[in-house]
A and B are shown apart, each in its own frame.
Chain A
Amino acid sequence: MEELRQQLAEILTPQKKERRHVISLLREVQQKLGYISKEAMQLIADFLEIPGSTVYGIATFYNQFRFKPLGKHAVTVCMGTACHMAGGRLVLEAMARELEVEVGDITPDQEFSLDRVACIGCCALAPVVTINESIYPRMTPPKVEEVLVTVKPVVEEKPQKEQAS
């Protein structure tokens, strides 16, 4: 807890000590830690002098907050109208199958997390997938594997080289 307090010290600054900043505090904490832990919520509550349950209530109300860490490669499949009409659900299923992970979860090696998003507004290029900051337009189930290969190699090549030498 003390370690966490120090980590969050640069976020919980006096100029943010107002109830209206609670959502932006949660967002900054999530940016820093990758997710929002129970302890972090309590720290925010103490800081704003409001009950921990209130912070929990707010954090769980909004879709963008997550309570599990994010993978090194955060995969998000858009489930907006245009993406759905163009087969977004098949893309999401293909992702879950390829990564062997449920939607909203993370792979055991912490490499990939898989989430769905309501719409990122790239409807003209549907269906779209984002991996961290990159956007992949016009996805199909066969393309899922191709895209993942471009993200993965760094992880997989290393042990092979060691074996060869």
Chain B
Amino acid sequence: MTFQEIQQKAKAEWDALYHGQIPHILIGTATCGRAGGALPVVEAFHKEMARQGAKANISQVGCVGLCSFEPLVTIVKPDSFTVCYNNVTPQIVPTLVEGYVLGDDPCLDLALGTVEGGEGEAVRIPELMRFEHEVRLILRNCGYINPEDINHYVASGGYASLANALIMKPEAIISEIKASGLRGRGGAGFPTGRKWEQCRQAPGQPKYVICNADEGDPGAFMDRVILESDPHQVIEGMAIAAYALGSGNGFIYIRTEYPLAIARLDIALKQAKKQGFLGKGILGSGFSFDIEIAQGAGAFVSGESTALMYAIEGKRSMPRPRPPHSVEAGLWGRPTVLNNVKTFAYVPLILQRGAEWFASIGTESSKGTAVFALAGKTVQTGLTEVPMGITLNELIYKIGGGMRNNKQFKAVQIGGPSGGCLPAELLLTPVDFDSLREAGAIMGSGGIIAMDTDNCMVDAARFFLDFIQKESCGKCSTCRIGTWHMLDILNDITTGKGKLGDIDFLVELGEDIRGGSLCGLGKTAANPVFTTIRYFRDEYLAHIVEKRCPALVCKELIAYYILREKCERACEHCVLTCPVKAIASDEKGIKVIDQTKCTKCGSCELVCPKEYNAVTRLSPPSLLPESSDKKPG
């Protein structure tokens, strides 16, 4: 079959599904959808349609990035509007089947809004504020196509760029990528076209193409969503890269913590091979290329390019000094191009719409869009794709919808453990490779965590250092031992044992680690500490001098206390919930916490009914009223 024939067949199938006689139900079953309970919803639809005798096509799709609304179900109906329902449970499925699959009632009271049609009757999802600020390029298909059916991708224009590329000169492809200004999306932002060119020119065969899907940054999940929702664009991008470099072998190194992404990628690779987009003589040309999945085994440092290659070779993944660079001597000492999932995903689009179009999006030095995983304390969490250069402020308030529970914004952590925490004063910082680096953070792979006044910045720094210390591969002593010392000091500070000289010592140690470590992990290990000291020094001082945690987080510096005037005596929620039985009633029936037993788990505060709100936290614990020392009688 020629590519045109494949495309025609796929488009016909797609039309039958979307514009056919029966409704089409799309259910998001990426990992976040599943965590929200999407699989029982799929089952409920099958069962309920059989029971009510309804007919519809059901497609399991990926994630549109509205994680807080999962599970999401979209019903496309011939001659009517397309409605999207949020937080769907199996209990409301019968209503939806009866109302909109069989009947004509779109059940708008259960809907998030309409996707197509229905003007004036309900919220139009594409007009939601967050989408106005988004530009969806590599997320365009996520949540709309079935990632396990290659025809969906082909029908939406997929693999056309590969077909075109195969009649182009490899050099022409590389100049197109160079002209687009695409920079690597793994975090460092190296120009992609230049990397490809260097590898193409490097002597030695075979050459390798590697996709880095070892998304190890805690708080980042963009690559997972892309691979779970639209894996073929990554495969197509890799095939184009391979053609441009003259490579016949590719690897996708993916972390083993992403089982669904691995499964969907595996299906996608098999289908691409069957359709002739991979394998020998791709689409009738003389070009052959194959991709193998290499699964990681849980090591953050594997995300570093030289370390990742050792992992594929079956060794301990420890970084090595550069030069030689991977483009000259990478996997098994051969010229290798390694790019991030997102970088490859942009490639088919750039070839399809042209370098000029891509370069027109974004800023002077950072072209195109950036995909962010928004998590933490914003109203809306999830995935978003925005033009480079958008401000942090817009990301948090326009797309994230501001802070949850009307709490005050305190800091945004960007770039994972190698990034930094930026305060409110820097919210107008544009999000691009260079501006973020200037502010002390990095673009990283794109995890953004918004923190409010309930988050302790010293604890946040301690958390990242704890992570880095555990993940340090141990090759460089500055990183192996230095991070250990830094963590020791931070542990002291957060437990009330900090000393005045600690802050300066932390900075000194951090600088030594930066200077004496080989790879990015070590060089950036101290970034979270540097930025929190730079922007939140007063919090460090409160911990060290006053033994007080202003955010009421650090366990050793706080005490739980039940306000006597607020405690509703007849209520026993806290008493029954306390896991260590530290709460009892006094002679007046008011609940009292036995501080000697309290483990500070916070359960009592969580279960105390909102209307009483009697449980409070005090810091330092010396603020406790004297009477609370007494054991409850």
B607 touches A126 (CB 8 A): no
User: Given the complex of chains A and B, what is the CA–CA distance between A83 and B298 in angstroms?
Assistant: 18
B218 touches A93 (CB 8 A): no
> What's the interface size class on A, roughly?
35 or more
Partner of B32 from A61, A65, A83, A122 at Cβ < 8 Å: A122
B80 interfacial by beta-carbon distance below 8 Å: no
Residues of chain B within 8 A (CB-CB) of A94 are 579, 601, 603
Shortest CB–CB separation between residue A156 and chain B, in angstroms? 19
A97 touches B257 (CB 8 A): no
**How many chain B residues touch the partner (CB < 8 A)?**
62
Q: How does the 8 Å CB contact mask read for A55-92 relative to B, with 1 for contact and 0 for none?
A: 00110011111000000000000011111111100100
User: Given the complex of chains A and B, what is the CA–CA distance between A24 and B314 in angstroms?
Assistant: 9
Residues of chain A within 8 A (CB-CB) of B312 are 20
Residues of chain B within 8 A (CB-CB) of A141 are 579, 601-603, 606
Determine chain A's interface SS by DSSP, over half rule.
helix
User: Given the complex of chains A and B, what is the CA–CA distance between A61 and B475 in angstroms?
Assistant: 12
Which of A7-15, A101-109, A113-121 lies at the binding interface? Answer: A113-121
Residues of chain A within 8 A (CB-CB) of B258 are 120-121
A124 touches B381 (CB 8 A): yes
User: Given the complex of chains A and B, what is the CA–CA distance between A84 and B554 in angstroms?
Assistant: 12
Which of B182-190, B237-245, B369-377 lies at the binding interface? Answer: B369-377
B257 touches A23 (CB 8 A): no
Shortest CB–CB separation between residue A114 and chain B, in angstroms? 16
B51 interfacial by beta-carbon distance below 8 Å: no
B455 touches A85 (CB 8 A): yes
B382 interfacial by beta-carbon distance below 8 Å: yes
Partner of B257 from A18, A27, A120 at Cβ < 8 Å: A120
User: Given the complex of chains A and B, what is the CA–CA distance between A86 and B34 in angstroms?
Assistant: 20
A64 touches B298 (CB 8 A): yes
User: Given the complex of chains A and B, what is the CA–CA distance between A128 and B221 in angstroms?
Assistant: 14
Shortest CB–CB separation between residue B626 and chain A, in angstroms? 28
B451 touches A121 (CB 8 A): no
Shortest CB–CB separation between residue B457 and chain A, in angstroms? 11
B495 interfacial by beta-carbon distance below 8 Å: no
Q: A20-B313, A142-B603 are in contact. Are A123 and B447 (CB under 8 A)?
A: yes
B579 touches A123 (CB 8 A): no
A40 interfacial by beta-carbon distance below 8 Å: no
Residues of chain A within 8 A (CB-CB) of B221 are 121-124
Identify the closest chain B residue to A122 (Cβ). Answer: B35
B215 interfacial by beta-carbon distance below 8 Å: yes
Q: How does the 8 Å CB contact mask read for B412-435 relative to A, with 1 for contact and 0 for none?
A: 010010000000000000000000
Shortest CB–CB separation between residue B602 and chain A, in angstroms? 6
Q: A22-B314, A61-B299, A93-B599 are in contact. Are A126 and B375 (CB under 8 A)?
A: yes
A142 touches B577 (CB 8 A): yes
Q: A22-B314, A84-B463, A93-B599 are in contact. Are A63 and B299 (CB under 8 A)?
A: yes
B601 touches A93 (CB 8 A): yes
Identify the closest chain B residue to A94 (Cβ). Answer: B601
User: Given the complex of chains A and B, what is the CA–CA distance between A74 and B601 in angstroms?
Assistant: 23
Identify the closest chain B residue to A21 (Cβ). Answer: B314
Residues of chain A within 8 A (CB-CB) of B36 are 125, 137
A118 touches B218 (CB 8 A): yes
Q: A61-B316, A117-B257, A142-B577 are in contact. Are A85 and B35 (CB under 8 A)?
A: no
B217 interfacial by beta-carbon distance below 8 Å: yes
Residues of chain B within 8 A (CB-CB) of A79 are 218, 467
A128 touches B299 (CB 8 A): no
Shortest CB–CB separation between residue A119 and chain B, in angstroms? 4
B595 interfacial by beta-carbon distance below 8 Å: no
User: Given the complex of chains A and B, what is the CA–CA distance between A165 and B297 in angstroms?
Assistant: 49
Shortest CB–CB separation between residue A64 and chain B, in angstroms? 4
User: Given the complex of chains A and B, what is the CA–CA distance between A137 and B463 in angstroms?
Assistant: 21
Identify the closest chain A residue to B222 (Cβ). Answer: A121
A140 interfacial by beta-carbon distance below 8 Å: yes
Q: How does the 8 Å CB contact mask read for B243-262 relative to A, with 1 for contact and 0 for none?
A: 00000000000001110000
A122 touches B31 (CB 8 A): yes
A123 touches B311 (CB 8 A): no
Residues of chain A within 8 A (CB-CB) of B313 are 19-20
B220 interfacial by beta-carbon distance below 8 Å: yes
A135 interfacial by beta-carbon distance below 8 Å: yes
A29 interfacial by beta-carbon distance below 8 Å: no
Residues of chain B within 8 A (CB-CB) of A80 are 218-219
B181 interfacial by beta-carbon distance below 8 Å: no
B67 interfacial by beta-carbon distance below 8 Å: yes
B216 interfacial by beta-carbon distance below 8 Å: yes
Shortest CB–CB separation between residue A140 and chain B, in angstroms? 5
User: Given the complex of chains A and B, what is the CA–CA distance between A94 and B375 in angstroms?
Assistant: 23
Residues of chain B within 8 A (CB-CB) of A18 are 314
A81 touches B315 (CB 8 A): no
Residues of chain A within 8 A (CB-CB) of B447 are 81, 123
A-B contact pairs, 29 of them (CB 8 A): A18-B314, A20-B313, A23-B296, A23-B311, A27-B295, A27-B297, A57-B316, A58-B316, A61-B317, A64-B298, A82-B218, A85-B451, A85-B455, A90-B601, A117-B257, A119-B257, A121-B258, A122-B31, A122-B221, A123-B219, A123-B220, A123-B375, A123-B376, A124-B374, A124-B382, A125-B36, A141-B579, A141-B603, A142-B577
Known: A61-B473, A81-B464, A135-B31. 9 other contacts (CB 8 A): A24-B294, A62-B297, A82-B219, A85-B377, A119-B218, A121-B258, A122-B31, A122-B221, A141-B602
Minimum-distance CB pairs A-B, first 5: A124-B67, A80-B218, A63-B298, A62-B297, A121-B221
